[in-house]
Structure 1
Amino acid sequence: MVILIPSYEPDRRLLTLLTHLSGQQIVIVDDGSSQRYAHWFAAAERLGCTVIHHRINRGKGKALRTGFEYIARHFPGEPVVCADGDGQHTPADITKVADALDDGDPNMVLGVREFSGKVPLRSRIGNAATRSLFRAATGLAISDTQTGLRAYPARMLSWLCTIDGDRFDYELILLVRASQQGMRVRQVPIKTVYEDGNASSHFRPVRDSWLIYRPLLGFIGSSLLGFGIDCAMLALLLAGTGVLTLSVIGARLVSATVNYTVNRRYVFAAQAPLAVRQTLPGYAALAVVVLIGNLVLMWTLTPLTGAAVAKIVTEVSLLTVSYVVQSTRVFAHRHRAQHEDTAPAPDDSDAVQKLGVR
């Protein structure tokens, strides 16, 4: 097992954790800390840790990928446990999460906090909001979507290196991709530890919250765009033809084309647009099913509520079904294809590797 710790401008708590983890293989990624913090990393090296230095701050997601790439090359076949060095993760919980990899062969293990006791209000509210939004968007119930204590078997390292997101959004995107591919995610309860109200956290509430919520909101935004186009086209076609069925089909064809293009190129593409030949047949089949459902609901509701209200109720009803099918079936092909056995070589242009004695 290798313990991976991304670190930016650490303090004494990093060394406290390393002391308690004595004898473990530990890789630390210094994510562009200034020279004022060099003594902490030098002390870590004296304790036998491997320290990798980013020349500039690249974000937690990039730091984790740098660590995964290094471990895949220098510790082949070893599982990885990711932990924070700010005192939130205890040595006992790190061991507990690592041991859970041997139970049922999961793709990843999450150390989920119970958020009991003295927890900063922003952390309690932020996690509750993200947890609710994540479940609504993916159907996957994760009690702590923002936990930094996670364990991965060695076979997952190459996949982890393909996931986009350089900052705090990276860890949430991992969960979104895992839900799309039906991966086995195990949750293990851990202690909730916040020292000094979590004052040392480098989390930026506005900017980093946007990065975290962005992948979940992308699909909703795409659907709203399609909804707006659908409503506009429906109104135009109804005014021009007066035929409900023809108007619904025409509006759906136009909005589905826009929705497919946006989802393929942006919402479900981690780094590049997905191939049309892989995704269009599935999307077309889904569009037919959704169209039938749309027609049935519109026929049923329009005489009762009018076309405008019927359209809103219909679209909201079909939104969740459409997302689940698109994320788990239609646009999941590319991510499965990227799960190879060999991780890409690390980007040495922004990381200088220093090896401790171990």
Structure 2
Amino acid sequence: MTILIPSYEPDERLLGLIHQLKAVSDSTILVVDDGSGDAYSEIFDSAREAGCTVLTHRHNLGKGRALKTGFAYLQQKGATEGVVCADSDGQHLPKDIMRIAHAVNEHHDHVVLGSRHFTGKVPMRSRFGNSATRMVYSYATGTPIQDTQTGLRGYSVDMLDWLCRIPGERFEYEMNMLLEAKAAGYSLIEVPIDTVYLDENKSSHFRPLADSARVYFPFIKFCASSGFSAILDFVLLLLIQWVSANLFISVAGARLCSSIFNYTMNRSFVFAKGKEVAIGKSLPRYFALVIVIALLNYGLMHLLHERLGIPLIGSKLLTEASLFLFSYWSQRKFVY
């Protein structure tokens, strides 16, 4: 088993973790210095002296790139055992790292997550951040998990090629990994670990605004595509209704035009994984989903507008809000 530790501007806690791991395990320890600079060379030299392999980025490239550097190195060396990734700030206990290593050996073809339960004194940004990403992930995949932001994760050796191909260079890489695992044929398994925060998690290099935007980027892209499609659908609904005075024709005509636009955007921009998804596979599924959502759209609008007397604009807004998350989950799960 290899323990991979990506590290940027570490302190003595990295060396403490290394010595603790050496005391309880004979696992290989691979450290990636993500461009920390000369000021931190003494720490990484001490890691080498302790028996670790240290790879160095000349400049800071991000946690995702540091992980992929480690995975690529293991590939090149012909690794035959799995890998456990842990953070360098002392917030992953050696006993929990070993529990993840054991779970990797027991559960092949699974992404093993060290799952914190956020009990006790937890910094507000950590509690809020994980709650937000947990909700987004659950809606995006239909699979609830307890801890989407854990840095303690384990993988069997056959996953290395896939891990190197996942998009993302910084903190968004770990969210992309969760989003793509099922499509790649890998299940998720959570192993409970202790929740440890030192000094209110001040050692974390996570930037709340910039890195959160990267983490949520797949969802943000869908919001943008859906927003433009909704505007088009909204305008066409009003125009066709003004011409025909027939709600069914208005809903159907507006949805047909906006769905063609939305399919093109989602196929090429939102859900594409480095290349466009094959039309022959995604197009029938997409328009089957369009029919389902259109029927739900008509049914909800009929109920709200014609039965409850809510104005057309209000009915439209309520209907679209109700179907938005269902559409995102369905497209990621079934279409693309």
Greater shift after overlay, 307-316 or 62-71?
Answer: 307-316
Contact persistence 2:105–2:156 (CA under 8 A): no
Counterpart residue number, 1:137: 140
- 1:139 and 1:225 map into 2 onto residues whose CA distance is 25
> 1:293, CA displacement in angstroms?
2.5
* Runs of at least 5 residues in structure 2 that lack an aligned partner in the other structure: none
In the TM superposition, what whole-angstrom CA distance separates every residue of 1:15-48 from its partner, at most 9, and x where no partner exists? 1111112232111111111111111111111222
Alignment equivalent of 1:168, drawn from 171, 183, 188: 171
Q: Which letter maps to 2:239?
A: L
> 1:295, CA displacement in angstroms?
2.6
Q: Does 1:328 align with 2:333?
A: yes
- 2:312 and 2:61 map into 1 onto residues whose CA distance is 50
What TM-score, normalized to structure 2? 0.92
Q: Does 1:313 align with 2:310?
A: no
Ranked by relative contact order (alpha carbons within 8 Å, sequence separation 6 or more), the top structure is 1
Q: Secondary structure at the match of 1:26?
A: strand
Q: Secondary structure at the match of 2:120?
A: coil
Q: Which letter maps to 2:8?
A: Y
Alignment equivalent of 2:203, drawn from 195, 200, 205: 200
Q: Secondary structure at the match of 1:192?
A: coil
Q: Secondary structure at the match of 2:30?
A: strand
Greater shift after overlay, 229-238 or 321-330?
Answer: 321-330
Counterpart residue number, 2:274: 271
Q: Does 1:121 align with 2:124?
A: yes
- 1:138 and 1:87 map into 2 onto residues whose CA distance is 31
Which aligned pairs between 1:3-22 and structure 2 lie closer than 5 A? 3-22=3-22
> 1:326, CA displacement in angstroms?
1.2
Alignment equivalent of 1:51, drawn from 45, 51, 54: 54
Counterpart residue number, 2:237: 234
- 2:143 and 2:228 map into 1 onto residues whose CA distance is 25
- 1:243 and 1:194 map into 2 onto residues whose CA distance is 60
Q: Which letter maps to 1:292?
A: L
- 2:95 and 2:201 map into 1 onto residues whose CA distance is 20
Contact persistence 2:32–2:55 (CA under 8 A): yes
In the TM superposition, what whole-angstrom CA distance separates every residue of 1:235-271 from its partner, at most 9, and x where no partner exists? 1111122222221111101211121122112221233
- 1:221 and 1:3 map into 2 onto residues whose CA distance is 39
Q: Secondary structure at the match of 1:21?
A: helix
Contact persistence 1:180–1:327 (CA under 8 A): no
In the TM superposition, what whole-angstrom CA distance separates every residue of 1:99-132 from its partner, at most 9, and x where no partner exists? 1124443520100112222322211222122222
Q: Which letter maps to 2:170?
A: R
> 1:278, CA displacement in angstroms?
3.1
Alignment equivalent of 1:62, drawn from 61, 65, 73: 65
Counterpart residue number, 2:2: 2
In the TM superposition, what whole-angstrom CA distance separates every residue of 1:303-325 from its partner, at most 9, and x where no partner exists? 12232233223323332332222
- 2:164 and 2:288 map into 1 onto residues whose CA distance is 32
**Identical columns (%):** 48
Q: CA RMSD in A?
A: 1.8
Greater shift after overlay, 253-262 or 291-300?
Answer: 291-300
- 1:75 and 1:114 map into 2 onto residues whose CA distance is 36
> 1:181, CA displacement in angstroms?
5.6
Q: Which letter maps to 1:10?
A: P
Q: Secondary structure at the match of 2:330?
A: helix
- 1:78 and 1:187 map into 2 onto residues whose CA distance is 20
Q: Does 1:150 align with 2:153?
A: yes
Q: Does 1:299 align with 2:302?
A: yes
